[in-house]
Amino acid sequence: MSSLGSKLLVNSLRKLSYSQARHIHRTLPMSTKKWNIGKINHVAMATPDIEKATSLFRDVLGAKVSEKHPQPEHGVYTVFVELGDTKIELLNPLGDKSPIQNFLDKNKSGGMHHICIEVDNIEEAMKDLKAKKIRLLSDEAKIGAHGKPVVFLHPKDCNGVLVELEQQ
Ligand SMILES: C[C@@H](C(=O)O)C(=O)SCCNC(=O)CCNC(=O)[C@H](O)C(C)(C)COP(=O)(O)OP(=O)(O)OC[C@H]1O[C@@H](n2cnc3c(N)ncnc32)[C@H](O)[C@@H]1OP(=O)(O)O
Ligand SMILES: [Co+2]
């Protein structure tokens, strides 16, 4: 900011001393940050045969896997593969309006479908990203596979990768 701009801002904080106003001006961007991005929670793979995909991770690669769970709110079945402090989510369509059906029609053997990143305040993240013209794929967060709110970001706004945010 130019020195004139700084002076105008500082003048607008009339009730404060000059040095107090300058301090607030400098620290403002830090104190207004309302959400933070965290670690990768899971990487998801869409698969046409979830039993076969589960068997690969459990029987061939020796990983611990969950049961298959229906997620009717999301139009998918999920199996989670436990990998230390992260996970792979295996997805298979549930119902005739599954959001992964087009993807599987285009990728017959399945493929990497999305990454899920943890955030500490999903409501603030959604407001902020909307204002920054990142398309959210639902107006409100839904409860995800871990019982926590999740929202998806359009792959065309995220370097071609579908991104899920999960509240921690
Ligand atoms: C249980 C929960 C949890 O973990 O808690 C979950 O994960 S549920 C996981 C399942 N739920 C979701 O995925 C919900 C969010 N997803 C959606 O709303 C949808 O899948 C969309 C991402 C909007 C895609 O929808 P749809 O395939 O019908 O549209 P479309 O074929 O017109 O695709 C639009 C463009 O995006 C591309 N596209 C589609 N899916 C993509 C993906 N997974 N990764 C990267 N690009 C993708 C298409 O190739 C196309 O690009 P071109 O135009 O260049 O060809
Ligand atoms: Co997911």
Which residues have CB less than 5 Å away from ligand 2 (the ion)?
Answer: 44, 89, 116, 164
Supply the DSSP symbol for 92: E
> 86-93 and 64-65 as β-strands: parallel, antiparallel, unpaired?
unpaired
Question: CB of 18 within 8 A of CB of 10?
Answer: yes
Q: Rounded to two decimals, what is the model's pTM?
A: 0.87
Report mean pLDDT in 10-residue bins for the chain, 168 residues: 49 53 55 90 98 98 98 98 98 98 98 98 98 98 98 98 98
Q: What is the 3-state secondary structure (H, E, C) of 13-60?
A: CCCCCHHHHHHHHHHHHHHCCCCCEEEEEEEEEECCCHHHHHHHHHHH
ipTM of the complex: 0.98
Nearest CA to ligand 1 atom 15: 152
